[in-house]
Amino acid sequence: MAGSRLPSALEPIDVRVTATLARFGVPVLRIGLGIVFLWFGALKFFPGASPAETLAARTIEQLSGGVIGPSVSVPVLAAWESLIGLGLLAGRFMRATLLLLVLQMLGTLTPLVLFPAETFAMFPLVPTLEGQYIIKNVVLIGAAMVVGATVRGGRVVPDPHAADVAEDLAGRAADDPA
């Protein structure tokens, strides 16, 4: 909580813990996202192994107007998600990886609109298990946003004064037309 003070004896410990979290938090988030995407993507290569497989296939079929059936959509989605996972794990080609992730997430959220009877037991307050599976992607989106904020070399800054100075400098740079 901002502004809360710790007993002075705990302050050095808090500074070290916070600095450690700032240093390792984004890489752990990136690797965690990579594991989730690679794992969930890999499951789709094995028919029946992914609980999201049928709903994903039906969603893609609906979005494509029936042109893309499950025999194509599920392996493509499996490869797509696996590629996102590998990109996140490697920490390479992050802009392309995050673009693929954004597009995948847009598709992932569409069953909430296309199939509300399957994603909600009582709209909009009581999601089904499938709905919960989809809604939890909000956390993945937030994690991807944090990772994306670092692709230009940015990082989490644990010192509030340093963060304020950096924010002021960034604001001035954005206001400067040169």
Does pLDDT of 13 surpass 70? yes
Q: Give mean pLDDT, residues 32-41.
A: 98
Q: Which residue has the higher pLDDT, 18 or 163?
A: 18
Distance from C-alpha of 40 to C-alpha of 9, rounded to nearest angstrom: 45
Q: Which residues pair with 126 in a beta bridge?
A: 122
Reported as a pLDDT band with limits 50, 70 and 90, residue 154 is confident
Q: Give mean pLDDT, residues 65-75.
A: 97
Q: Are 147 and 98 in contact (CB under 8 A)?
A: yes
Could you report the per-residue pLDDT of 99-144, keeping only the tens digit for each?
A: 999 999 999 999 999 999 999 999 999 999 999 999 999 999 999 9
DSSP symbol at 122: E
Q: Where are the beta strands (DSSP E) in the chain?
A: 120-122, 126-127
Weakest mean pLDDT among 1-5, 22-26, 54-58, 145-149? 1-5
Q: Where exactly are the structural domains of the chain?
A: 18-175
Supply the pLDDT for residue 2. Answer: 55
Supply the pLDDT for residue 100. Answer: 98
Reported as a pLDDT band with limits 50, 70 and 90, residue 1 is very low
Distance from C-alpha of 161 to C-alpha of 167, rounded to nearest angstrom: 10
CB-based contacts of 136: which residues, under 8 Å, 6+ apart?
none
Does pLDDT of 82 surpass 90? yes
In 10 A of CB 149, how many CB atoms? 12
In 10 A of CB 1, how many CB atoms? 3
